[in-house]
């Protein structure tokens, strides 16, 4: 069955409840274990179930974020195509977009450098939602093969710091400030060339026509 956003939101609510229930159960069992009433194995069993439920919950959240970001880009495609071409090294900022036409020959293979910069600066991993082409992009008939998306608001502390790193390194990016209405998590930073082409083989209607 095809995964939908509404369906995933329902699943997320179920998985969140599951985590809550298992967290309460774990605390209860910990108490029982401390009193010597249950074995370590019984306690571990609940701990494992709770960890698995948390993974399911995080996967739902990641899928929703990835989908909202891809929809934001696809729906901004016409706007991006209509913007005046930027000179190499050009930079522009508006209420919705920040664009930088960096001149470094960047490819996805160079992503590790950016991830390293970020984790050293902030002590956690770069929140990448899409690395290259994903099934969501295929569905939207959107060419995202040589780009990656990072779920950071460009005006946040971490977002600003990432953008200034990318500018220094000459890596092209487009930062989306505002989400498309209804897609609460659409603000993000797209690293790599803009994905304005529809994937080869896509129909002449271009991206995202069936709604
Ligand atoms: Zn992107």
For residue 132, the CA-to-ligand 1 centroid distance in Å is 8
Q: Following DSSP, what letter does each residue of 24-62 receive, concatenated?
A: HHHHHHHHHHHTTSS-HHHHHHHHHHHHHHHHHHHHHHH
> Which of 27, 49, 69 is a domain's end point?
69
Work out the number of other CB atoms within 10 angstroms of the CB of residue 182.
9
Q: Give kind and range of the element (H or E) at residue 201.
A: none
Distance from residue 16's CA to the centre of ligand 1 (Å): 28
Q: What is the pLDDT of residues 111-138, one digit of tens each?
A: 999 999 999 999 999 999 999 999 888 9
Please report the pLDDT score of residue 184 as a whole number.
57
Judgement on whether residues 51 and 107 belong to the same structural domain of the protein: no
If you measure from the C-alpha of residue 188 to the centroid of ligand 1, how many angstroms do you get, rounded to a whole number? Answer: 8
Taking a 5 Å cut-off on Cβ, the residues next to ion ligand 1 are: 73, 147, 149, 190
56 shares its domain with 78? no
Q: Which domain holds residue 54?
A: 5-69
pLDDT in tens, 1-26: 567 888 999 999 999 999 999 999 99
Cα of 201 from ligand 1 centre, angstroms:
20
CA of 135 to the centre of ligand 1 (A): 13
Q: Which residues of the chain have pLDDT under 50?
A: 201-211
Domain count for the chain: 2
**pLDDT of 80:** 84
Report yes or no on 208 lying in a domain: no
- Same domain membership, residue 138 and residue 37: no
Q: Which residue has the tokens 């609510």?
A: 13
Q: Provide the total of helices (H) and of strands (E) in the chain, helices listed first.
A: 6, 6
Strand-pair category, 147-150 with 188-192: antiparallel
Are residue 63 and residue 77 in the same domain, yes or no? no
Q: What is the ipTM of this complex?
A: 0.99
Is 54 in the same domain as 83?
Answer: no
Report the separation in Å between the CA atom of 69 and the middle of ligand 1, taken as the mean of its atom positions: 7
How many A from CA of 9 to the centre of ligand 1? 22
Residue 146 C-alpha to ligand 1 middle, in angstroms?
9
The rounded distance, in Å, linking the Cα atoms of 60 and 123 is 24
H or E segment at 130? strand 128-131
**Do 59 and 83 sit in the same domain of this protein?**
no
């Amino acid at each position: 069955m095809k995964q939908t956003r509404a369906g995933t939101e329902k699943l997320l609510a179920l998985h969140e409840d599951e985590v809550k229930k298992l967290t309460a159960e774990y605390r209860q069992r910990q108490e029982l274990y401390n009193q010597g009433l249950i074995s370590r194995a019984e306690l571990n069993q609940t701990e494992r179930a709770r960890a698995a439920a948390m993974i399911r919950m995080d996967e739902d959240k990641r899928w929703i974020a990835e989908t909202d970001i891809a929809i934001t880009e696809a729906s901004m495609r016409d706007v991006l195509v209509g913007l005046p071409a930027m000179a190499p090294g050009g930079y522009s900022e508006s209420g919705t977009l920040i664009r930088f036409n960096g001149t470094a020959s960047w490819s996805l293979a160079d992503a590790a450098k950016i991830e390293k910069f970020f984790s050293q600066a902030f002590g956690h991993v770069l929140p990448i939602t899409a690395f290259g082409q994903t099934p969501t992009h295929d569905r939207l008939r959107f060419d995202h093969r040589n780009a990656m998306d990072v779920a950071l608001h460009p005006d946040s502390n971490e977002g600003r710091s990432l953008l200034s790193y990318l500018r220094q390194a000459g890596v092209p990016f487009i930062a989306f400030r505002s989400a498309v209405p209804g897609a609460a998590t659409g603000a993000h930073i797209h690293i790599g060339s803009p994905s304005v082409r529809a994937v080869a083989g896509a129909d002449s209607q271009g991206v995202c026509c069936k709604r």
